[in-house]
Structure 1
Amino acid sequence: MTLQAQSILQLARDTLDIEAAALQDLKSRLDERFVQAVEMMLHVKGRVVVTGMGKSGHIGRKIAATLASTGTPAMFVHPAEASHGDLGMIKLVDVVLGISNSGESDELVAILPVLKRQGVPLIAMTGGLDSSLARHADVVLDSSVAKEACPLNLAPTASTTAQLALGDALAVALLDARGFKPEDFARSHPGGSLGRRLLTHVSDVMRSGDAVPRVLPDASFSDLMREMSHKGLGASSVVDADGKVLGVFTDGDLRRLIEKGQDLRSLKASEVMHVQPRTIRQDALAVEAAEMMEAHRITSILVVDASGRLCGALNTNDLMRAKVI
Structure 2
Amino acid sequence: MRSYAAWLGQKGLRLITLLFALSVISFILVSYSPIDPIQAYIGADMMKVSPEQRAQITAYWGLDRPPVERFFRWGSALLHGDMGTSMIFRRPVSEVIGERFMNSIVLMGASWLLSGLIGFVAGVIAAMNKGTWVDRFIQWYCYTLASTPTFWMGLLLLIVFGVWLGWLPVGLGVPAGVPADQVTRADRVQHMLLPLLTLSLVGISGIALHTRQKLVDVLASDYVLFARARGERGWRLLRRHGLRNIALPAISLQFTAFSELFGGAVLAEQVFSYPGLGQATVSAGLRGDIPLLLGLVLFSVVFVFTGNLIADLLYRLMDPRLREGRSL
Rg: which structure is higher?
1
Same fold (TM over 0.5): no
Question: TM-score if structure 2 supplies the norm length?
Answer: 0.24
Relative to its length, the structure with more strand (as a share) is: 1
Relative to its length, the structure with more helix (as a share) is: 2
